[in-house]
Chains A and B, each alone.
Chain A
């Protein structure tokens, strides 16, 4: 068994530098790599490009990096709910590339699986398709979209083992599995890190081959963005 364990988040983030491109898992605040984000803030890397479905809220998630002006460019599908984001975008400090959610996921998957480009109908005939190659298949038009290229992928899983095998929970899974192995180095943080052999191989969502470093995360807040309940 090849051991992927590192002792903490600082060790896991070794090698991050200004100007790099990072992938970050999560949908809204669900399943975001909270520990890695805190470390990016602590190390104060600048001019980074972030590939993430959303951009957090003002005081949590990627909003923490925005507060410190660490992000040069965001590649996302939806960026509402963040006043500082809006300010930086409108003032031109922050570059934003909005792409369809399924295209974002598939560009991660393409990078993970060694597919340089693919065709999707999403965005054809809209401004998303401007400047992109389009092609007809079976009477329908498609856009060519390319695999992402990223330096680090930061993902969050529920459970993981020393071999880097990962299991996700609920809808916190989202983009996390698609980003594993889609960057030069994949860093996984988990709520529960167990010795090899403790996870049932039948239940593994992402095999450890896609993960270079894994560590036991700490102090998860797991904030809820829109608390909605019904009366008993």
Chain B
């Protein structure tokens, strides 16, 4: 069975290590916070200017001066800090943030990512995505392996306008965990009940399959 969005988030949460500063993108990445182990310390950064982001406020306690990058009302945890936008991106470009998790429309086998623009459709903008992908040491992409028509989004070359080049290191899709290395995808894990053949069929880019491929555990 292909993974649900929640399960993708749950699998990615295993990549979040004790002591990490993490920036979560909008969509599936936001769900990752719900699955991070309770026994480790992780600080979430939101690029509009908070480190130490907490859960949504209780009803009636929302503060218009306290939002995340998705413009949602949030809370600040003990030890949190606020800062301006330039400093926020100093944290990002300066590689002080350990892990960036974001969504993608397409990823190519050399690590290019496209996630901000579809020609012919209304363009909303890249927000902080280009800064994040250009700078982060460790980028994990959360995505669907194929589009609604069943066409692969894991490609030899992206067809959509790029957000960044040579930057994606790992993909967790609804079908598999892939590593992006030396110009190809390497299959690391498969979703429970999904066969290697199904993953090969859903991957347009070059896919290296070595030995037994374990099922994901959560």
Whether B159 is near chain A, meaning CB under 8 Å from some CB there, is no
Chain B nearest Cβ from A43, distance in angstroms: 26
Whether A36 sits at the interface, judged by CB under 8 Å, is no
Residues of B within 8 A of A168 (CB): 82, 84
Which residues from 180 to 205 on chain B have a C-beta closer than 8 Å to any C-beta of chain A?
A: none
B33 nearest CB across to chain A (Å): 13
Inter-chain residue pair count (beta carbon < 8 A): 181
Beta-carbon nearest neighbor of A180 in chain B = B84
Give the interface centre of B68, B93, B131, B165 by most chain A CB atoms within 10 Å. Answer: B131
B214 in the interface (beta carbon within 8 A): no
B73 within 8 A of A: yes
Give complex CA distance A232, B74 in Å.
15
Are B93 and A170 interface neighbours, CB within 8 A? Answer: no
Stretch from A9-17, A63-71, A77-85, A192-200 forming part of the interface with B: A77-85
Query: What number of A residues sit within 8 Å (CB to CB) of B?
Result: 57
Task: Give B155 Cβ to nearest chain A Cβ, in Å.
Answer: 16
A27→B67 contact, CB < 8 A: yes
Chain A residue nearest in CB terms to B70 = A226
When the two chains form their complex, are residues B85 and A174 in contact, meaning their CB atoms are under 8 A apart?
yes
Query: Cβ of A185 < 8 Å from any Cβ of B?
Result: no
Q: Mark A191-232, 1 if CB is under 8 A from B, else 0.
A: 000000000000001000000000000000011111111111
Interface residues of B (CB under 8 A from A): 46-50, 55-74, 76, 82-86, 88-89, 92-93, 112, 122-131, 134-135, 161-166
